[in-house]
Amino acid sequence: MKRQLAGAAGLLHGAAAVLNTANALRPTRSPRYSIPSFAAGALTTELPAAAAAATVLPQLALAAAGGARTRTGRLGLALSLGAAAGLVGVAAASRPAADVLDRALDEVYGPDYRSRVRHPAWPEADAPLSRRPGVVRMFQVRRRYAHDVDIPYGPAGLRNHLDVWRRADLPPGGRAPVLIQVHGGAWTVGNKREQALPLLSHLTERGWVCVSVNYRLGPRATWPDMIVDVKRAVAWVKENIAEYGGDPDFVTITGGSAGGHLTALHALTARDRIWQPGFEDVDTSVAAAVPLYGIYDWTDAQDAGLIRLLENRVIKQTLADAPDLFGTASPRRAITADAPPFFVLHGANDSLVPVRGARRFVEDLRATSKQPVVYAEIPGAQHAFEIFGTRRAHAAAEAIERFLGIVYSMDTSGHEVRAADL
């Protein structure tokens, strides 16, 4: 009886392993299953070695318990080994990421673009840099770099707090370039502590000042509270970041998923001041925007799940009743010739936010904007591909630094900078 139970468990485990690997290689596009597809795929695609261990080790334990002596157990073992072999392909899919990102920058700025990258004047050229954190150590970087945390920037309590990341040896008058990070979470969950750790730690180590922000969330908050908070945070940075060694004249913005939407929308509407109640006179424009796996059109009828979420928990009106409200909240509808430089990144295997939205946004942006628009579609990458300290995350962080460094090199403020390749 024990053998039969172990064999049956092995077969179920093997079948689940095959499904998990298949989802990582080719995630479902069905709206009904997009969330579980993302939940499983994000971990498997970015941590395939851990997924392989979780696939093989329990199966070996079941085999040792007698499962391998049954036909179902042997089939389950074969399925698990096949799934583990497929995970080798999942791992291989992450290797081209750096080349894809490099080509995206090359196509816009030319093959010698690296020679145009500039970094902050601090740390000095011979200053030692810390070793790049791995998956586990990445969760400790906030403690190392976020020296000023939970700073209020608005009246909404914890949801209007931000953290400032900087090197401990950055001088108060360092006037370092600044990046603001806006977290994702479908405008209803998430916080400033969880996301973009590889990017924030990478830029901070190299002399940038980074600011991660909270903002009000639905369903307690209602649109446009979210974008108002982002703009209020940018205003705070413009008015206060010099006290932390940052340069208020060179501020950029990034974010993933819902944060990508807010990043793009803020960058495209900063000149309008339409969502700056009580701080209309503050210039919240940014030098560049880097949205990752963002949502760019709130009126996309093909995305019924997004529309339901917005209607029920964010805008709290239907698209049919308030089409203008949905339209003005869509970055794709806010594109103008005066848009700042953009670097748009999206995973080719994103099951949560289909890549077609990024493609359309980039096409429209390139057709209208007078500034460069870089687009990188990361092969094999799921939604939230840059959260863990993995190959893709580090490649994305380094490419974003190069993009921002080129924009920084075009700055006319006269601040001291030094040229350096990564």
Residues tagged active-site: 257, 350, 383
User: Are 55 and 86 spatial neighbours (Cβ–Cβ below 8 Å)?
Assistant: no
DSSP state, 123? S
Q: How far apart are CA 289 and CA 330, in angstroms?
A: 16
- Smallest CA-to-CA distance from 224 within 288, 273, 291 is with 273
Distances (CA, A) of 314 to 25, 200, 216, 327, 330: 33, 28, 11, 14, 13
**How many angstroms separate the Cα of 192 from the Cα of each of 183, 276, 415?**
6, 22, 29
Q: Report helix, strand or coil for 345.
A: strand
Q: Bin 414: left if φ > 0, else alpha if -120 < ψ < 50, else beta.
A: left
Q: How far apart are CA 235 and CA 253, in angstroms?
A: 12
294 phi-psi bin (left φ>0, alpha ψ -120 to 50, beta other): beta
Helices then strands, counting H and E runs in the chain, come out as 13, 10
**Which of 86, 78, 95 has its CA nearest to residue 13?**
78
Task: Extract the tokens encoding 325.
Answer: 């409200």
Three-state SS annotation for 132-151: CCCCCHHHHHHHHHEEEEEE
Number of other residues whose CB lies within 10 A of the CB of residue 57: 11
Residue type for position 68: A
Cβ atoms 62, 73 nearer than 8 A? yes
Contacts of 381 (CB under 8 A, 6+ apart): 45, 94, 97, 347, 348, 349, 350, 392
Instruction: Give the integer Cα–Cα distance in Å for 159 and 153.
Output: 9
Which of 403, 401, 327 is CA-nearest to residue 104?
Answer: 403
DSSP of 160-208, one letter per residue? Answer: GEEEEE--TT--TT--EEEEEEE--STTTS--TTTS-HHHHHHHHHTT-
